Amino acid sequence: MKLFLSMFLALPFLIGAQTEATAQGFSALLEKLEISVKDSEPNWKLERKEPQANSTTYCWKSAAKEVTVEITSTASAQEALNMLKSTAMRVPVAPKPVTQSIGDKAVLYKMDRADSSMLLYTKSNIFVKVSASDFNDTDRFARLIADQIPSRSNK
Tens digit of each residue's pLDDT (9 = 90 or more) over 1-13? 443 333 333 333 3
26 in a domain, yes or no?
yes
Give the ranges where the chain is alpha helix by DSSP (H): 2-40, 77-89, 135-148
CATH of the domain at 88: 3.40.1000
153 in a domain, yes or no?
no
24 in a domain, yes or no?
yes
Q: How many structural domains comprise the chain?
A: 1
pTM for the complete prediction?
A: 0.82
61 in a domain, yes or no?
yes
Where in the sequence is the domain holding 131, given as residue range(s)?
Answer: 2-148
> Which residue type occupies 74?
T
- How far apart, in whole angstroms, are the C-alpha atoms of residue 36 and residue 145? 8
Tens digit of each residue's pLDDT (9 = 90 or more) over 96-121? 888 778 999 999 999 877 889 999 99
CA atoms within 13 A on the CB side of 99: 4
Helix, strand, or coil (residue 128): strand
Q: Name which of 45-59, 66-80, 96-110 the model is least confident about.
A: 96-110
56 in a domain, yes or no?
yes
Q: Is 2 exposed, middle or buried (0-12, 13-18, 19+ CB in 10 A)?
A: exposed
